[in-house]
């Protein structure tokens, strides 16, 4: 089987890797097909029905679930497809919270992108509106807010939780116009199995899932998370000399863009006023700040008095592999004991 196939999209000959979908082939060649529920990391679900295309002048297909075939002739904008898409988008927007200026996704919103492309009719939107009152926000999680009024039911969060995190904390609940994404029993998110990794927030195409302290950074630094020994790649974003955001590094071989709750939301300790910035020694029963020289002299003196099995070490996952290697070497060769363990095993 050839590794690439040739097809025609909107009269343009393009090539695409075999086994990719028509939507991926179009996007890779700079041809926009409206879509909301597609995400490159997830198995296609075909729930938004926006990526309809005509294939070979004969049938209509969901492009995110249709694999490319040699010689396909695809049209993305026939009058029939445009009409169906318009209704699908209007139904989504009719009950959608549209105060975009107050939305965290305002400058990068999948729904805005689709609506701009398809065009919407304000009179029809008013007629389609079904909800008289907005639904309550779920702010139970300390790190993020879920706003069901901005949710487009694309299911990307559900599939992220299931396919990537293997947690399945949330799913579609209720039926018809009452459908929403929720945890088991429609309880608050904090009562679900959610591990607060934030992977769903990263993939949400609209502003339904937003971090609670979402200040945009003015610059970012590529680094490695120090919370444990996994070595996940991350970008730390800063603003006015303080860390305001952490995001996964897609190029990291260790984590491929993913982070856990600690890596994504646990950076506040860096600027916390209680953080120790100088060594403390106990004097007259109280801990007082001192210089590194005095602290290290004191530790060296105490080491001398506790050689052998009177001494023990707990190594830290916050240290590098090299630092941990040196620590066990020091423990065994200098202090003369095998009493060494590591916090990752505890």
**Which of 9, 14, 36, 225 is in the footprint of ligand FES by CB under 6 A?**
36
Please tell me whether residue 35 binds ligand FES under the rule CB under 6 A. yes
Closest CA to 305 of 282, 327, 335: 335
Residue numbers 39-68 binding ligand FES by CB under 6 A: 46-51, 62, 64
* Cβ nearer to ligand FES, comparing 67 with 279: 67
Taking the C-alpha atoms of residue 111 and residue 150, their distance in angstroms, rounded to an integer, is 10
DSSP H or E stretch at residue 247: strand 242-248
Min. distance of Cβ 216 from ligand FES in angstroms? 28
Please tell me whether residue 37 binds ligand FES under the rule CB under 6 A. yes
* Cβ nearer to ligand FES, comparing 156 with 335: 156
Taking the C-alpha atoms of residue 160 and residue 202, their distance in angstroms, rounded to an integer, is 10
* Cβ nearer to ligand FES, comparing 5 with 22: 22
DSSP string, 251-285: T-TTTTT---HHHHHGGGGGG-TT---S-EEEETT
Min. distance of Cβ 180 from ligand FES in angstroms? 18
Taking the C-alpha atoms of residue 158 and residue 154, their distance in angstroms, rounded to an integer, is 9
* Cβ nearer to ligand FES, comparing 37 with 161: 37
As given in the structure block, the two tokens for residue 242 are 């303080």
* Cβ nearer to ligand FES, comparing 53 with 234: 53
Taking the C-alpha atoms of residue 79 and residue 69, their distance in angstroms, rounded to an integer, is 24
Min. distance of Cβ 50 from ligand FES in angstroms? 5
Min. distance of Cβ 155 from ligand FES in angstroms? 9
Query: How many CB atoms within 10 Å of residue 54?
Result: 18
Taking the C-alpha atoms of residue 342 and residue 271, their distance in angstroms, rounded to an integer, is 27
Min. distance of Cβ 52 from ligand FES in angstroms? 8
* Cβ nearer to ligand FES, comparing 26 with 335: 26
Interaction site with ligand FES (CB under 6 A): 35-38, 46-51, 62, 64
């Amino acid at each position: 089987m050839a590794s690439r196939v040739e097809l025609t999209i909107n009269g343009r000959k393009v090539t695409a890797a075999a086994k990719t979908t028509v939507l991926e082939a179009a996007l890779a060649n700079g041809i926009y097909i409206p879509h909301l529920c597609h995400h490159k990391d997830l198995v296609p679900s075909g729930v938004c029905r926006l990526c309809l295309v005509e294939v070979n002048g004969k049938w209509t297909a969901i492009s995110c679930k249709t694999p490319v075939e040699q010689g396909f002739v695809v049209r993305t904008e026939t009058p029939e497809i445009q009409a169906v898409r318009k209704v699908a988008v209007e139904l989504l927007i009719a009950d959608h919270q549209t105060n975009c200026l107050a939305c965290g996704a305002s400058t990068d919103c999948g729904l805005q992108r689709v609506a701009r492309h398809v065009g919407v009719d304000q009179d029809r939107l008013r007629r389609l509106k079904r909800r008289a009152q907005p639904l309550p926000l779920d702010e139970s999680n300390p790190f993020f807010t879920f706003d069901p009024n901005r949710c487009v039911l694309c299911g990307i969060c559900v599939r992220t939780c299931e396919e990537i995190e293997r947690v399945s904390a949330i799913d579609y609940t209720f039926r018809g116009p009452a459908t929403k994404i929720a945890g088991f029993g429609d309880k608050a998110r904090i009562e679900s199995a959610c591990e607060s990794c934030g992977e769903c927030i990263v993939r949400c195409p609209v502003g339904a899932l937003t971090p609670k302290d979402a200040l945009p950074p003015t610059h970012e630094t590529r680094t490695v998370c120090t919370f444990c020994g996994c070595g996940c790649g991350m970008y730390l974003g800063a603003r006015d000399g303080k860390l305001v955001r952490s995001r996964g590094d897609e190029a990291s071989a260790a984590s491929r863009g993913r982070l856990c709750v600690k890596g994504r939301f646990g950076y506040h300790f860096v600027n916390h006023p209680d953080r120790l910035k100088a060594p403390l020694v106990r004097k007259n029963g109280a801990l007082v700040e001192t210089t590194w020289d005095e602290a290290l002299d004191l530790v060296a003196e105490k080491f001398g008095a506790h050689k052998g099995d009177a001494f023990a070490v707990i190594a830290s996952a916050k240290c590098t592999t090299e630092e941990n290697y040196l620590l066990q070497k020091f423990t065994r060769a200098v202090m003369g004991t095998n009493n060494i363990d590591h916090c990752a095993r505890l």
